[in-house]
């Protein structure tokens, strides 16, 4: 039977597992699991079930909960039985034309949830009006609610009141809000929206507050209907959502509801836990970092993927993002902030002079973290006994004795700190590294040592050779600079050093470094003690 639009009143629980959970598994639940999850939720008494996305960029697929039109979505759920619940789907404004929606009476759906960013709020309201004309209950979901100012909320409410949708939802897309912020936005909407419009709340768990913030909504003083979003076991985008099972339990115990939690737990046990074992979701360190800085998670990922920055440095760069740019990821912009941070100038003239006195005119051995540094250590030791060179290790501490440690990578430095202290190593560091405890013996200006070639601009060997060239060294021996192979297990002496990059990218690095070594050889005698891709003439 169909659920009438006026029957969903009071405090309602909406499950978004089949839609928001799809960010975890690319919406490929499998038709059997899709049907089973729906049936369990239906029997449990959940008030509203969101069964997926409508997105015309996708092809029909009966095993997925993202479909190009209402006809395809209805076919995907053709096996569900009579229902007690309201059924809805979501459209991200601009991804599904109104022509892709059949009249409500011809579909499995009762309602459509339209999500949109602040800059599209008026266009989304107009699109929503067309949705309502097709008979659907309209939900307008304000994504990234923290990007709205108070005047935006008031202006939006005035527009919404013209069409009186079924509900308007606050969406804390990146889990940025605490209780006070949530209350501020809710109360603004409550004050300015027509009383007939329900207010919904959709949270994410970046701060571990998805559940607590959601139940706090229930404590706010309002006479209007409330819709609370949750998902099975919190399955959802980034840090996940408020767990449906916890919300159902809370409403049963405190608000006289009678959701069958056992049915919800059965769905989790049979259908969700196998997915959780393959695709982890939930609170994580990096999603916390993005929420702490009120920014898009992709900014954090972009910086962390460089594998050269400490978390302190990541936080400092994120802190430089302009407010208006925080929630819309801009790769070129964050790369510019990264470069700016790394190129902070330092007067290193005194260090350069001192290093020149110590290193120029001496035999120098540079030891890199490639496998050959361990495999050929007998050969390396024999060379050291014969030539008595000054040995400089690069971003790692080898098993053979060294005179200096060169550090240009914050991640590697953090791993080495205990050994640096224990061994009393003399350290040469680039200016992008923040020392723990005592200052480095020598700090050289990072920006003056990098190259202008993208893939190798911050390569440690390149930076060190540029430094040695600058201080007048004319001959070096290299060991442990092997180059990259397709198998990541063979690239480094320690697996934790792995760059986690595609072999296509690493092949480019091999080629560019080989070319760079040839350039250096015009002014510097470079001798490889161990096998290396870079030694090719």
Q: Compute CA distances 23 → 66, 208, 270, 498, whole Å.
A: 10, 19, 20, 27
> Taking 70 as the threshold, does the pLDDT of residue 41 lie above it?
yes
Indicate if 309 and 261 belong to the same structural domain. Answer: no
- Look at residue 312 and tell me whether its pLDDT is greater than 60: yes
The model's pLDDT over 246-270, given as tens digits with 9 standing for 90+, comes to 999 999 999 999 999 999 999 999 9
| pLDDT (0 to 100) of residue 537 | 52
Q: Residues 5-19: what's their mean pLDDT? A: 77
More confident residue, 99 or 506: 99
Closest CA to 497 of 414, 421, 383: 414
Residues 203 and 302 in one domain: no
Same domain, 291 and 249: no
* Two structure tokens written together for 459: 């390569």
**How far is the C-alpha of 418 from the C-alpha of 215, rounded, in Å?**
45
**For the chain, how many helices (H) and strands (E)?**
21, 16
246 and 270 within one domain: yes
Question: Which of the listed residues 325, 342, 359 is the one where a domain comes to its end?
Answer: 342
- Which ranges constitute the DSSP H helices of 255-376? 261-267, 273-278, 285-292, 297-304, 311-318, 331-342, 349-359, 372-375
Tens digit of each residue's pLDDT (9 = 90 or more) over 236-247: 988 999 999 999
Does residue 4 sit within a domain? no
Axis-axis angle for helices 179-192, 150-163 (nearest 10): 40
pLDDT of 180-206, one tens digit each? 999 999 999 999 999 999 999 999 999
Say yes or no: 294 and 406 in one domain. no
pLDDT band with cut points at 50, 70 and 90 for residue 6: very low
Annotate 201-270 with DSSP letters as a single string. EE---TTS-HHHHHHHHTTS--SS-EEEEEBGGG--STT---BHHHHHHHHHHHS-----HHHHHHHIII
Looking at the structure, tell me whether residues 267 and 309 fall in a common domain: no
Judge whether 319 lies within some domain: yes
- Asked, for residue 6, whether it belongs to a domain, the answer is no
Round to whole Å and give the CA distance between 303 and 363.
37
Structure tokens of 98? 């109104």
Q: Is 3 among the domain residues?
A: no
Of the residues 317, 342, 367, which one is the last residue of a structural domain?
A: 342
Could you tell me if residue 434 is inside a domain? yes
More confident residue, 419 or 114: 114
**For residue 500, what pLDDT is reported?**
63
pLDDT at site 367: 95
Q: What is the DSSP code string of 273-285?
A: HHHHHHS--S--H
Does pTM top 0.75 for this prediction? no
pLDDT of residue 194: 97
Q: Are residues 334 and 252 in the same domain?
A: no
Same domain, 436 and 498: yes
pLDDT given for residue 308 in this prediction? 63
What's the pLDDT tens digit per position in 403-431? 999 999 887 887 787 777 667 789 999 98
Q: Express each pLDDT in 276-288 by its tens digit.
A: 988 889 888 888 8
Q: What is the pLDDT of residue 494?
A: 72
For residue 166, the 8-state DSSP code is S
Give the DSSP H/E element, type plus range, for residue 53: strand 48-54
What is the tally of structural domains in the chain?
Answer: 3
Instruction: Give me the pLDDT at residue 4, please.
Output: 37
Whether 73 and 88 have beta carbons less than 8 Å apart is answered as no
* Residue that terminates a domain, selected from 278, 293, 324: 278
In a domain, 335, yes or no: yes
Structure-model confidence comparison of residues 522 and 9, the more confident one:
522
Structural domain includes residue 5: no
Is the pLDDT score of 9 beyond 60? Answer: no
Identify whether residues 237 and 190 lie together within a single domain: yes
Question: Which of these ranges, 126-140, 214-228, 294-308, 347-361, has the smallest mean pLDDT?
Answer: 294-308
Tens-place pLDDT, residues 43-76: 999 999 999 999 999 999 999 999 999 999 999 9
Is residue 2 a part of any domain in this protein? no
373 and 289 within one domain: no
Q: Which residue has the higher pLDDT, 486 or 37?
A: 37
| 438 and 506 assigned to the same domain | yes
- For residue 42, what are the CA distances in angstroms to 12, 36, 185, 234? 14, 10, 31, 18
Whether residues 335 and 378 fall in one domain: no
Structural domain for 422, as ranges: 349-535
| Residue 139 CB burial class (10 angstroms; 0-12, 13-18, ≥19) | buried
CATH number at residue 118: 3.20.20.70
Helix (H) or strand (E) holding 116: strand 111-116
């Amino acid at each position: 039977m169909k659920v009438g639009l006026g029957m969903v009143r009071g405090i309602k629980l909406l499950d978004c597992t089949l839609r928001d959970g799809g960010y975890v598994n690319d919406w490929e639940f499998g038709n059997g699991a899709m049907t089973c999850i729906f049936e369990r939720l239906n029997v449990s008494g959940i008030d509203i079930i969101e069964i997926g996305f409508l997105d015309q960029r996708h092809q029909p697929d009966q095993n997925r909960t993202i479909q190009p039109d209402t006809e395809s979505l209805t076919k995907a759920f053709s096996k569900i039985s009579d229902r007690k619940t309201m059924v809805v789907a979501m459209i991200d404004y601009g991804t599904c034309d109104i022509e892709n929606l059949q009249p409500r009476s011809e579909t499995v759906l009762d309602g459509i949830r339209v999500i949109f960013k602040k800059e599209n709020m008026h266009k989304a309201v107009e699109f929503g009006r067309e949705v309502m004309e097709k008979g659907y209950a309209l939900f307008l979901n304000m994504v990234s609610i923290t990007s709205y100012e108070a005047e935006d909320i008031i202006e939006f409410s005035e527009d919404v009141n013209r069409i009186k949708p079924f509900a308007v939802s606050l969406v804390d897309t990146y889990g940025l809000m605490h209780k006070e912020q949530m209350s501020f936005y809710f109360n603004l909407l409550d004050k300015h929206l027509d009383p007939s419009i329900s207010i919904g709340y959709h949270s994410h768990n970046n701060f571990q507050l998805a559940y607590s913030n959601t139940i706090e909504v229930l404590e706010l003083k309002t006479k209007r209907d409330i819709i609370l979003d949750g998902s099975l076991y919190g399955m959802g985008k980034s840090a996940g959502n408020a767990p449906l099972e916890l919300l159902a339990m809370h409403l049963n115990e405190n608000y006289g509801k009678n959701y069958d939690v056992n049915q919800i737990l059965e769905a989790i046990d049979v259908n969700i836990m196998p997915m959780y074992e393959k695709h982890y979701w939930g609170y994580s360190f990096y999603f916390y970092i993005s929420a702490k800085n009120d920014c898009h998670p992709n900014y954090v990922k972009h910086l962390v993927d460089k594998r050269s920055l400490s978390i302190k440095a990541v936080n400092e760069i994120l802190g430089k993002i302009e407010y208006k740019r925080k929630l819309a990821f801009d790769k070129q912009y964050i790369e510019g902030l990264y470069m700016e941070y790394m190129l902070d100038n330092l007067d290193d003239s005194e260090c350069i002079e001192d290093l020149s006195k110590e290193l120029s005119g001496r035999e120098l051995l540079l030891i890199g973290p490639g496998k050959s540094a361990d495999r050929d250590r007998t050969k390396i030791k024999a060379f050291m006994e014969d030539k008595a060179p000054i040995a400089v290790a690069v971003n790692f501490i080898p098993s053979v004795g060294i005179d200096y440690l060169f550090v240009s990578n914050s991640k590697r430095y953090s791993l080495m700190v205990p050994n640096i202290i224990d061994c009393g190593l003399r350290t040469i560091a680039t200016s992008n590294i923040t020392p723990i405890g005592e200052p480095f013996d020598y700090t050289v200006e990072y920006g003056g040592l990098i190259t202008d070639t993208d893939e190798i601009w911050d390569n440690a060997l390149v930076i060190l050779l540029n430094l040695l060239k600058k201080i007048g060294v004319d001959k070096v021996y290299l060991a442990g600079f092997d180059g990259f192979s397709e198998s990541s297990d063979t690239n480094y002496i320690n697996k934790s050093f792995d760059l986690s990059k595609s072999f296509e990218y690493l092949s480019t690095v091999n080629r560019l470094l080989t070319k760079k070594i040839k350039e250096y050889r015009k002014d510097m005698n470079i001798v490889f003690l161990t096998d290396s891709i870079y030694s090719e003439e």
